[in-house]
């Protein structure tokens, strides 16, 4: 009896043990399946590839006739069968179905899994797909694919070969859907990044402007087709060179531009680039970009050669016209002088005396304007040959002051000069700098009240000589302190004061042609200080 009992107990224990082993084996198979699935999903970033591998594994593991993944197209309100595996795979792939229809539609809308053991008995089943493919759906297990709590698609496993699904199938397919969701999101992100990359590649290669991608140290990482065409050298030769090699600009200028880009600015400049026989003018723009996951700098050159050539032609034409005005004006002035000598000099009381005076003064003004415009044009075009000599600063300052003194006296102003000890000579074009000084002094007199004070001072500053014209006149508001150096810039304060608006533009060009700088400091209604420097070293 006892041996029968112990036999029974033994049998029961063995049964429990083998059931436990079976459960463990099943768990192990499930884990292996999920592990394999996640490895497959992580192994590729191509969306169709991802889904295809996923479904192939689901079909084998669940032993079903067909599987599919439909993704939700929210805008269209449709489910799109992106990938299918099984008998009617080809016909199903690409099918679109309203997300209001069928088991898949129900799962997509509710976000809940659904096991339908007998589809023909379920009102939610939509037979349209079977009708168009010829496939017969009997049993469906459908689960939602969710990303960030939103349903993005549905996985369906159809017709298990045993006729029914295992009770754990739903839980397992939901785990697969979770893995699939991450993989789908990654694949979509990757696809989007690839599209952006392809768009950039197209712009880069097919664009009509030269584009150069640089490492942060200024070395060339890539150049586009247009750059190769313009420079006329093979791409491989340019890669590894520096931007300064390519453009023939200084390393310092290049690094400064890169520093600006890294500091968040987008520097714009103009460079000349030798292209075969031609020289092209490029307006260059630099920005920081992400180039295949690494920080890089994109240099882009807009070819503005045509615009520059047109501007040069226009400037040349203007100069010719201005120049040609000088001759007829010369004849008019000569004739006026003759009339003056013939009639007025003998009889100052003649009625035409006044008129003649007006005509001659106006003619003189026109002369001044024409000469200023011609000077400016020549300086701008870099055509003015500076005849630099060693200039005695003291003598230069005295001469400028003497020229303006009568004007200052007529307005009862005090004009003083002060040359600091140690300033002896400067290397400059004497005539040009004398005209700069007289222009500044002339302005100081014009824009200072009667009884005002004007000082022309000179001092040494490291390797430069600093000239300062100070007045206690009406001053210049901060917003105009740059603009007054442009051609024809005259402020409201110049109303009723004679002038052309060209004096300061001339001063700026003349000083810069010497390698110096010019600027103004001012207190409105109190004073103005026009300052310019000339380098000492250049002899």
Using CB under 6 A, list all residues that contact ligand ADP: 439, 443-444, 447, 471, 473-474, 476, 484, 489-491, 493-494, 499-505, 528
Q: How far is the CB of 419 from ligand ADP (least distance, A)?
A: 21
* Residue 493 beta carbon to ligand ADP: minimum distance, rounded to whole angstroms: 5
- Looking at beta carbons only, is 44 or 500 nearer to ligand ADP? 500
| 8 Å CB contact between 273 and 279 | yes
Cα 459 to Cα 203: distance, rounded to the nearest angstrom: 56
Nearer to ligand ADP, 359 or 489 (CB): 489
| Burial profile 346-368: b = 16 or more Cβ within 10 angstroms, e = fewer | eeeeeeeeeebeebbeebeeeee
Contacts of 194 (CB under 8 A, 6+ apart): none
Q: How far is the CB of 481 from ligand ADP (least distance, A)?
A: 9
Spatial contact of 329 and 363, defined as CB atoms under 8 Å apart: yes
User: Rounded to the nearest whole angstrom, what is the least distance from the CB of residue 226 to ligand ADP in the complex?
Assistant: 42
Torsional sign, CA 365, 366, 371, 372: positive
Nearest to 329 by CA among 374, 282, 365: 365
Per DSSP, the chain holds a count of helices (H) and strands (E) of: 15, 18
Nearer to ligand ADP, 522 or 533 (CB): 522
Please say which residue, 384 or 500, places its beta carbon nearer to ligand ADP: 500
Shortest spacing between CB 416 and ligand ADP, in angstroms: 16
CB of 411 to ligand ADP, least distance (A): 13
Q: Is the Cβ of residue 92 or residue 474 nearer to ligand ADP in the bound state?
A: 474
H/E segment holding residue 151: strand 150-160
Query: Residue 246 Cβ, how far from ligand ADP at the closest point, in Å?
Result: 40
- Closer to ligand ADP by CB, 285 or 531: give it: 531
**Minimum CB distance to ligand ADP, residue 454 (Å):** 9
For the CB of residue 372, give the shortest distance to ligand ADP in the complex, in Å: 9
In this chain, which residue has its C-beta nearest to ligand ADP? 499
Nearer of residues 197 and 512 to ligand ADP, judged by Cβ:
512
Torsion over CA of 332, 335, 336 and 340, rounded to 10 degrees? 170
Q: Read off the DSSP letter of residue 500.
A: -
| Residue number with CB closer to ligand ADP (52 or 446) | 446
Number of other CB atoms surrounding residue 108 within 10 Å? 26
Q: List the structure tokens of 101.
A: 């229809």
CA–CA dist 400, 408 (Å, integer):
12
Terminus-to-terminus CA distance in the chain, angstroms? 129
Which residues are registered as beta bridge partners of 531?
A: 468, 519
The residue (of 345 and 495) whose beta carbon lies closer to ligand ADP is 495
């Amino acid at each position: 009896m006892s041996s029968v009992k112990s036999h029974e107990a033994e049998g029961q224990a063995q049964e429990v043990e083998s059931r436990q082993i079976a459960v463990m084996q099943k768990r192990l198979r499930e884990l292996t399946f999920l592990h394999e699935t996640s490895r497959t999903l992580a192994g590729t970033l191509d969306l169709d590839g991802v889904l295809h591998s996923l479904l192939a594994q689901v079909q084998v593991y669940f032993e079903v006739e067909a599987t599919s993944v439909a993704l939700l197209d929210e805008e269209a309100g449709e489910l799109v069968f992106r990938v299918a595996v099984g008998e009617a795979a080809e016909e199903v792939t690409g099918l679109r179905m309203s997300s209001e229809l069928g088991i898949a539609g129900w799962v997509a809308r509710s976000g809940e899994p659904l096991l339908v053991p007998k589809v023909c008995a379920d009102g939610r089943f939509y037979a349209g797909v079977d009708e168009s493919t010829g496939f017969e759906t009997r049993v469906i297990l459908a689960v939602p694919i969710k990303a960030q709590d939103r349903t993005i698609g549905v996985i369906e496993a159809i017709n298990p070969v045993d006729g029914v699904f295992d009770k754990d199938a739903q839980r397992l397919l939901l785990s697969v859907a979770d893995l699939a969701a991450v993989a789908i999101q990654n694949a979509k992100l990757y696809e989007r990044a690839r599209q952006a990359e392809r768009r950039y590649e197209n712009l880069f290669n097919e664009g009509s402007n030269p584009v150069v991608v640089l490492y942060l140290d200024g070395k060339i990482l890539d150049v586009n087709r247009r750059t190769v065409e313009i420079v006329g050298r093979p791409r491989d030769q340019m890669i590894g060179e520096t931007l300064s090699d390519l453009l023939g600009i200084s390393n310092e200028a290049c690094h400064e531009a890169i520093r600006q880009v890294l500091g968040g600015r987008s520097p714009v400049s103009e460079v000349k680039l030798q292209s075969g026989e031609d020289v092209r003018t490029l307006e260059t723009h630099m920005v920081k970009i992400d180039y295949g996951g690494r920080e890089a700098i994109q240099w882009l050159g807009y070819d503005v050669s045509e615009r520059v050539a047109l501007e040069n032609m226009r400037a040349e034409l203007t100069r010719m016209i201005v120049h040609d005005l000088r001759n007829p004006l010369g004849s008019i002035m000569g004739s006026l002088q003759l009339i003056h000598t013939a009639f007025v000099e003998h009889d100052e009381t003649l009625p035409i005396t006044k008129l003649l005076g007006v005509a001659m003064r106006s003619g003189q003004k026109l002369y001044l304007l024409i000469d200023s415009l011609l000077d400016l044009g020549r300086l701008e075009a870099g055509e003015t040959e500076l005849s630099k000599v060693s200039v005695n600063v003291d003598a230069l300052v005295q001469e400028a002051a003497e020229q303006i003194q009568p004007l200052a006296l007529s307005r009862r102003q005090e004009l003083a000069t002060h040359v600091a000890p140690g300033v002896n000579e400067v290397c400059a074009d004497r005539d040009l700098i004398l005209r700069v000084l007289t222009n500044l002094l002339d302005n100081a007199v014009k824009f200072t009240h009667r009884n005002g004070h004007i000082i022309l001072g000179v001092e040494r500053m490291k390797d430069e000589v600093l000239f300062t014209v100070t007045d206690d006149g009406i001053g210049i508001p901060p917003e105009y302190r740059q603009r007054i150096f442009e051609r024809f810039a005259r402020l409201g304060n110049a109303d009723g004061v004679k002038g052309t608006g060209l004096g300061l533009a001339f001063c700026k060009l003349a000083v810069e042609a010497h390698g110096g700088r010019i600027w103004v400091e001012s207190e409105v209604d109190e004073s103005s200080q026009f300052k310019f420097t000339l380098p000492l070293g250049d002899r």
